[in-house]
Amino acid sequence: MAAGDGAASAYGGELTFSVIITCLVAASGGLIFGYDIGISGGVSQMKPFLETFFPKVLRRMADAKRSQYCMFDSHALTAFTSSLYIAGLVASLFAGRVTRSLGRRGVMLVGGALFFAGGIMTGAAVNLAMLIVGRMLLGFGVGFTNQATPLYLAEMAPAQWRGSLGVAFQFFLSLGILIANLVNYGTARVQWGWRVSLGLAGAPAVVMVVGAFFLTDTPSSYVMRGKADLARAALVRVRGRGGDVDAELKDITRAVEAARSSQKGGFRKLIGSREYRPHLTFALALPLCHQLSGMMVLTFFSPLVFRIAGFGSNAALMGAVILAGVKFVSLILSTLVIDRYGRKVLVIAGAAIMIVCQVANAWIMRAQGGKNGEVPLPRPYGLALLVLTCVQGAGFGMSWAPLIWVIPGEIFPMEIRSAGQSVSVSVVLGLTFLQTQTFLALLCAFKYATFVYYASWVAVMTAFVLVFLPETKGVPLESMGSVWEGHWYWRRFVGGDGHRVKASPSDE
């Protein structure tokens, strides 16, 4: 069954108010993650924060002889940002098993509680150890919620709207980044403003925890835990009167039974079974595409990069606000087209925009700023760099920003879904840790060529995706196996009917 052949309507049903509210409340977990992403870069260049925890960086900033590209190069400073992601990696390795026992909703509750504790500790930190521990608590929350929320959205959304509703997680993530940059801009002039910025991470966690109490778990999760009646009730609630609830429940039950038919665990299947080779490949490759675009670390450190480019402190923070706002708006565009034109169109458009902007930024910083950034950028070129960076952010916001959460949530069959999502999230967080821990050193070493480095990776990874990733637009989760079977390369690994369920009983 190819993508887009009408399978999306196999179960019928409506885009009900219940499913919209349910998915929006669940996706609000992205708000917390986005806030934590956006807050660290702005706080890291606030003078009172640096005086309290990183005085060596302040002394380096005052050294006029030092390369501008290297003034923020500090492993301790990057550890403040990256510690969240190494903790998230550890949590995500256990999140798959916890999700199977507690359900998607239960894991979101646990993640929200950890976010709240981490926000309180970082806001009240009096030394570096307390600051890092607080960030790690936030990271544990990231590991759990990022594993459970995309699965929740994929399993609750009707197939024909799964892409648009799946983007909701990234929508809230981008909103969180924008809010964080606005908070940083507002608190930068206050001596203790950094405490407000960090402590507010706990506020959206309260919203998520309270909202999760009113959610139902996914039908798939209920069936996996032997609660068929609750699964049917959940389907009725989110599909409406027009949905073929019994047919969908039957297919979900068959998928769960197939998943239980083997004694091997999800991780062992994913890694050791030949038929899951494409799933393992993209559990690893999609995070690489996301991270090697360079946009994530630019999001973390955009205020620092703008400082290096010659912006003042407040101007750098405002530049970060503008960048976050552009990414947020671009995400709305992806929401409108992802289920109409498919995933690959977004990949192509986003890659073209990012490559052009990254190369242009490298030229501006070399030609106008000098080899070591020793020459302040003339104002027109500084504005051009800001505009190009924002356009680059728009390219990322309409492509890999949402796709890294949408595609992994839909390509894994039931028997490896939790394991596959855990691997994907673990790789995302592991790469984020490596990127955040090494980016400032990379910027110090490569200088303006850092942008060319990331542009090259975008070109390579985009070519890989276009050749090897099948289109998944409009395909029900229970029929996703047919997409791999129809692919020119992956069909040599995936075959037979044992691991997939047809779209509806009428197909039998």
CATH number, domain 18-260+270-507, options 3.20.20.10, 1.10.530.10, 1.20.1250.20, 3.50.50.60: 1.20.1250.20
Mean pLDDT, rounded, for 31-58:
85
Closest C-alpha to 137, from 98, 86, 95, 84: 84
pLDDT band at 353 (very low <50, low <70, confident <90, very high): very high
Q: What is the pLDDT of residues 384-403, one digit of tens each?
A: 999 999 999 999 988 888 88
Number of other residues whose CB lies within 10 A of the CB of residue 346: 23
Convert the pLDDT of each residue in 281-291 to its tens digit.
Answer: 999 999 898 88
Domain boundaries, the chain: 18-260+270-507
Q: Which residues contact 245 (CB under 8 A, 6 or more apart)?
A: 11, 232, 235, 236, 239
Look at 152 and 38; give whichever has higher pLDDT: 38
Which residues lie below 8 Å from residue 345, measured CB to CB, with a gap of 6+?
337
Q: Which amino acid is at 393?
A: G
| Residue 169 clears pLDDT 70, i.e. is over it | yes
Least confident of 62-76, 180-194, 345-359, 422-436: 62-76
Interatomic CA distance for residues 330 and 319, integer angstroms: 17
Q: What is the pLDDT of residues 58-91, one digit of tens each?
A: 777 666 455 677 877 777 888 888 888 889 888 8
Whether 201 and 39 have beta carbons less than 8 Å apart is answered as yes
* pLDDT tens digit sequence for 208-256: 788 777 777 778 878 887 888 888 888 777 777 666 777 878 888 887 7
Phi and psi at residue 12, in whole multiples of 5°?
65, -150
Residue 415 pLDDT > 80 = no
Tokens of 155: 């399993």
* pLDDT at residue 262 is higher than 70: no
Confidence of residue 505 (pLDDT cuts 50, 70, 90): very low
Indicate the average pLDDT of the chain: 81
If DSSP codes are grouped into helix, strand and coil, which group holds residue 12? strand
Name the residue among 289, 508, 281 with its Cα closest to residue 412.
281
Whether pLDDT at 358 is above 90:
yes
Is the confidence at residue 264, as pLDDT, over 90? no
User: Are 3 and 475 in contact, with CB atoms under 8 Å apart?
Assistant: yes
